[in-house]
Chains A and B, each alone.
Chain A
């Protein structure tokens, strides 16, 4: 089965999402990778694949063993194209994704990150990137807010920052 355009990451805690300027943003804390039993050293972060129109709603309604809703913070969707860019850059042995269907959850899969061999600065950056491209679908309190905010007037300013601080001195740090 081909992979869909987006994956879905359940937000276990509401504080994995922050509000700035009336918009909601995921933090990198949302993408904590846990040790797996995979032989290649890959750590995993559980996701669902957005295979059909029911996938997001299904994820919203997933429950813990005791019956409470599992994702109190709602869910985040993340474009697969961003996953592909990271995978292409670092290689599938460092970052990858998979399907791993489970009983009762046909959408389930994992993001895979090789924390065993990766410089922590790079692995943390990847998590920041994943958070940056996530779109929040919040459960309740902030339903009137825009899912992802933009301060459009910063576009030109960022280019200015980048050229001054980074592009001309890429080895400064």
Chain B
């Protein structure tokens, strides 16, 4: 770990990450643990976000549930596009999610020499992402908020294309 770089917390719209989730068919997502996954479900392979989606049934806080769905929908959408263009999930590793003792959700994406974490908190301004890399990749640590959905999608897209 060499560097810590953090995004700023100011000048953001607190609820911007609660925009309607990115889905290929543009449908709305309902609350709760119902079927809110994107339309592209590929039964022949294990979907990388499968485990992370399962955490939804354990979440009692509505804001955390909404943010988690929105994030997973965005990740699924990007993964789905990759799947359609490459014909498979390839080396995309699974996301791991769990409910923390304080009720928040932590989602981790462990990709060899680096890992990405997303923490989902009741207050959207406290939700964030973190990236940590090992010595081979510069021992960098970055973090930021989850408020700008376009940037998050861009981040996910860049990561997936380089796995």
Partner-B contacts on A (CB < 8 A): 18, 20-21, 23, 25, 27-29, 32, 34, 82, 85-86, 89, 115, 119-122, 124-125, 127-129, 131-133, 149-152, 154-155, 157-162, 164-167, 169-173
How near does chain B come to A35, taking the closest CB pair, in angstroms?
Answer: 9
The answer to whether A125 touches B134 (Cβ under 8 A) is no
Nearest CB in chain B to that of A23: its residue: B112
User: Is B145 close to A, CB under 8 A?
Assistant: yes
CB-CB < 8 A to B144: which residues of A? 166, 170, 172-173
Interface hub of A86, A154, A158, A160 (most chain B Cβ within 10 A): A158
Q: Can you list 22 A-B pairs with a CB-CB distance of less than 8 A?
A: A18-B96, A20-B93, A20-B112, A23-B112, A120-B119, A120-B121, A124-B104, A124-B119, A124-B128, A125-B132, A127-B106, A128-B108, A132-B115, A154-B162, A157-B162, A162-B138, A162-B142, A165-B154, A165-B158, A166-B131, A169-B151, A173-B145
Q: Mark B11-52, 1 if CB is under 8 A from A, else 0.
A: 000000000000000000000000000000000000000000
The answer to whether B117 touches A158 (Cβ under 8 A) is no
The answer to whether A161 touches B136 (Cβ under 8 A) is no
Q: Mark B63-75, 1 if CB is under 8 A from A, else 0.
A: 0000000000000
The answer to whether B110 touches A121 (Cβ under 8 A) is no
Q: Mark B82-108, 1 if CB is under 8 A from A, else 0.
A: 000000000101101010111010101
Cα–Cα distance between A63 and B143 once the two chains are bound (Å): 38
The answer to whether B162 touches A160 (Cβ under 8 A) is yes
**Given A119-B126, A172-B151, A173-B146, CB of A129 within 8 Å of CB of B141:** yes
Cα–Cα distance between A32 and B152 once the two chains are bound (Å): 26
Q: Which of chain B's residues 115-163 have a Cβ closer than 8 Å to chain A? A: 115, 117, 119, 121, 126-134, 136-138, 140-148, 151-152, 154-155, 158-159, 162-163
Cα–Cα distance between A89 and B6 once the two chains are bound (Å): 13
Nearest CB in chain B to that of A86: its residue: B1
Nearest CB in chain B to that of A149: its residue: B112
Interface of A is mostly: helix
Cα–Cα distance between A28 and B130 once the two chains are bound (Å): 12
CB-CB < 8 A to B155: which residues of A? 165
Cα–Cα distance between A120 and B127 once the two chains are bound (Å): 8
**Given A125-B130, A158-B113, A169-B151, CB of A89 within 8 Å of CB of B4:** yes
The answer to whether A164 touches B158 (Cβ under 8 A) is yes
Cα–Cα distance between A25 and B101 once the two chains are bound (Å): 21
The answer to whether B113 touches A27 (Cβ under 8 A) is no
Cα–Cα distance between A9 and B7 once the two chains are bound (Å): 31
The answer to whether A159 touches B128 (Cβ under 8 A) is no
CB-CB < 8 A to B4: which residues of A? 89
Nearest CB in chain A to that of B4: its residue: A89
The answer to whether A125 touches B141 (Cβ under 8 A) is yes
The answer to whether B133 touches A158 (Cβ under 8 A) is yes
Cα–Cα distance between A132 and B137 once the two chains are bound (Å): 13
The answer to whether B111 touches A173 (Cβ under 8 A) is no
CB contact between A154 and one of B98, B100, B113, B132 (< 8 Å): that residue:
B113
CB contact between A171 and one of B7, B96, B136 (< 8 Å): that residue:
B7
